Amino acid sequence: MADLVKLSPKRERELNQALEALFHGFNAVVAHPDAMLAEQGLSRVHHRILYFVGRNSGLSVNDLLGILKVSKQSLNGPMRQITGLGYVKAQADAEDRRIKRLSLTESGQMLESALSGDQRARFARVFALLGAEDEQAWRRVMDKLAGR
């Protein structure tokens, strides 16, 4: 946990504005994909699974757990659901049958593309408006918030 620092009232207001901007920006980025997911009884966790499996085809369930930083129990239900819907397939590893390798099906690729495509388009519009320098500053802030 970060050390709590005594902040001046002015600095606290500025940081509260940053928190509010993050909250509202995040809501804007996820609103349309969330609505698309809700139509199918799915949620943001399903989108995360589709996104990371789509970018790392053939990864193991344990690899996905590490990327998402969740427990096996919390991943089990959503994985079962999107596998049952035919969006993700799990195949036994050729060398170690205990390991399941994950990949998106064609319908999974289409859904992931629709969900993330909306978000990529939103980022592309904003980054084009603000320019490369602001985009790089935003990336540096996000990396530091993530502890990288």
Q: Where are the domains of the chain?
A: 28-117
pLDDT tens-digit series, residues 60-95: 999 999 999 999 999 999 999 999 999 999 999 899
pLDDT score for 2? 55
Q: Model confidence at 1, in pLDDT bands (50, 70, 90)?
A: very low
Q: Quickly list H helices, 3-131.
A: 9-38, 44-55, 61-68, 72-84, 106-130
As a CATH number, domain 28-117 is: 1.10.10.10
**Would you say 40 and 30 are in contact if contact means Cβ atoms under 8 Å apart?**
no
What pTM value is reported for the model? 0.89
